Amino acid sequence: MTAEARREPLQILLVEDSDDDAELIVCALRDDGLDFRYRCICSEAELFSALAQENWDLVLTDYNLLTISAHEVIAVVRADPRDIPVIVISGHIGEEEAVSLMKSGASDFIPKHNLVRLLPALEREIREAEVRRRERQALRALREQERFLQEITSALGEGIIVLDEDMRVIYMNPEAERLLGWSEAELLGKPLHETVHYLKPDRSPYPANECPVARLHRDGQRCQVDDDYYVRKDGSLLPVSFVATRITGQNGAVRYVNAFQDRTARKQAEEELQESRRQLRELTAFLQRVREEERTAIARELHDELGQMLSGLHMDVDWLRRRLTDTRGPEAAKIEAMAELIDTALQTVRRISTDLRPAVLDDLGLEAAVEWLVEGLQSRTGIDCKLRLELNDAYLDEPIATALFRLVQESFTNITRHAQASRVHISLTMEGQKLRLVVQDDGIGFDVTAPRPRSFGLLGMRERVLALSGDFTVDSRPGAGTTIIAEIPLDEAGASLGSPGRSFA
């Protein structure tokens, strides 16, 4: 800013003990049209007082003073934090002394016989002082912003590492230092991958070309990793999730910001949850196995014990009927009623026994049992059923066969109660080492996302499949029917060659 561009007069402190010389300097500045106010002093005490009382834009000092030297004036003014320029004016001094003054901190030296140089020198020094002040203000603002950002990153509950364009560490916040055990000074200038990201969970080397952050360096795309590991200073692995982002400044400088969180507690909770679910599934599978065993035992008891007793009772009634002489009397009618009641009881026992554990499943296998279920659904409801059985001559172990039978049975129960379907397609096929069951109806369907707090049928079916390490999905929409898909993997112990496949429609 030039002296002419200023709206307010310049504040000039003049250190001069000669009134004539002071008047000469003031007149030279006024003749040049400079708008200024000045104060003339001539001692060190006055200098300290003037600096303390007012804000000065410039100090002009004579070289030859009686009570204070020009070097002392320069030293006092330079000690002031306001960066006030000092121009020395003198009649005649040697070159060496002029150089000495400049080294002491004088902004310029003007001979008294050449005061025409005073105004240009004054304007230049005012302008340069203003530039320096603005630079200091910008630097203070920058430092304040850096301090503010550092306090923000320090307050965050996640570690932050900033990398330069060569993927070397240039900043770590305190949380990153705490989590990794490294101090910022120890990692400054070091590649991130080679210091904290060089091992896989099995402690095998982690190639740099597989590193997500390295890919970010190559293609610039933001990356988010939910399950990874960093290496602490002591060599232990820290489970982390992180987000790495590329940032480009206005000057083209590239930085990479890596924000990561400690997943130790979350990973432990996830592992505990998975273990709890595994135990619950094992318990569910155990309870289902016990239930099937109890149902089988009860069905056998009903069929073998109670069925035999009812059959014997029926034979006794027949024996009594054959020995009656009066076939039209009340005794004959009573015997006929008893025989009908015994027949009904036998049918009920057979029905309950079959519902508990159909003999066809144990005697003829899964395919025949599924055909029996399909025939039963058609005969009871009139629903048109299409069945496709392609098990590729596989014989299934009892737990898998039972699970698939119960899945079909529960699906038919849901269709009968809720679907209002007219057609059902059932497919049970072997696809590689996987069994695939599909039950599809054209019923009213339902919203699979709607909460069903008391819907235990589908939940039980899902648990049956999950207990066998399978996948279970339900696809349905209101008015679009329902499709249930169960896929169960098989190993050599789960299926073996034997029973031929069949189809039924």
DSSP letter string over 387-418?
Answer: EEEE-TTEEE-HHHHHHHHHHHHHHHHHIIII
Q: What's the mean pLDDT in 133-141?
A: 87
| Residue 437 confidence (pLDDT) above 90 | yes
Rounded Cα distance between 441 and 56, Å, is: 94
190 close to 212: Cβ distance less than 8 angstroms: no
5: Cβ contacts below 8 Å, ≥ 6 apart: none
Q: What's the mean pLDDT in 211-240?
A: 86
Rounded Cα distance between 68 and 51, Å, is: 16
Q: In this structure, what are the phi and psi dihedrals at residue 207, rounded to the nearest 5 degrees?
A: -60, 140
Q: What's the mean pLDDT in 184-207?
A: 89
Q: In this structure, what are the phi and psi dihedrals at residue 255, rounded to the nearest 5 degrees?
A: -130, 150
Rounded Cα distance between 257 and 260, Å, is: 10
Closest by CA position to 155, among listed 137, 172, 175, 169: 175
| Residue 122 confidence (pLDDT) above 60 | yes
Residue with tokens 């009871």: 380
CA 498 to chain centre: 50
pLDDT range class, residue 454, cuts 50, 70, 90: low
Helix axis angle, 70-78 to 44-53, nearest 10°:
30
Closest by CA position to 49, among listed 89, 15, 85, 10: 15
467: Cβ contacts below 8 Å, ≥ 6 apart: 281, 282, 284, 285, 288, 403
pLDDT at site 485: 93
pLDDT range class, residue 190, cuts 50, 70, 90: very high
Domain ranges of the chain: 10-137, 156-262, 268-355, 360-497
Decide whether 10-137 matches 156-262 in CATH topology: no
502: Cβ contacts below 8 Å, ≥ 6 apart: 367, 368, 371, 389
Residue with tokens 């159909």: 358
Helix/strand/coil for 256: strand
3 close to 127: Cβ distance less than 8 angstroms: no
pLDDT at site 498: 36
pLDDT range class, residue 2, cuts 50, 70, 90: very low
| Best-predicted range by mean pLDDT (66-70, 108-112, 479-483) | 479-483
Rounded Cα distance between 36 and 9, Å, is: 4
Angle at alpha carbon of residue 10, lines to 6 and 11, rounded to 5°? 150
Q: What's the mean pLDDT in 181-203?
A: 90
| Residue 355 confidence (pLDDT) above 80 | no
Taking the whole predicted model, whether its pTM rises above 0.85 is answered as no
pLDDT range class, residue 493, cuts 50, 70, 90: very low
CATH 3.20.20.70 at 156-262, yes or no: no
Is the backbone of residue 324 left (phi > 0), alpha (psi -120 to 50) or beta?
beta
Neighbouring-strand partners of residue 473:
485
**Mean pLDDT, the chain, whole residue set:** 83
Rounded Cα distance between 243 and 222, Å, is: 7
159: number of Cβ within 10 Å: 25
| Residue 348 confidence (pLDDT) above 60 | yes
445 close to 436: Cβ distance less than 8 angstroms: no
**Which amino acid would we find at residue 403?**
A
| Residue 361 confidence (pLDDT) above 60 | yes
| Residue 502 confidence (pLDDT) above 70 | no
pLDDT at site 180: 93
DSSP state, residue 112: G
CATH 3.30.565.10 at 360-497, yes or no: yes
pLDDT at site 106: 87
Q: In this structure, what are the phi and psi dihedrals at residue 484, rounded to the nearest 5 degrees?
A: -110, 130
pLDDT at site 103: 86
Closest by CA position to 436, among listed 492, 498, 488: 488
State which CATH number among 3.30.360.10, 3.40.50.2300, 3.40.1670.10, 3.40.50.720 fits the domain covering 10-137: 3.40.50.2300
pLDDT range class, residue 439, cuts 50, 70, 90: very high
pLDDT at site 5: 53
320 close to 335: Cβ distance less than 8 angstroms: yes
Sign of CA dihedral 349, 354, 360, 365: negative
Rounded Cα distance between 401 and 354, Å, is: 16
pLDDT at site 6: 54
Rounded Cα distance between 481 and 136, Å, is: 74
Angle at alpha carbon of residue 270, lines to 268 and 273, rounded to 5°? 110
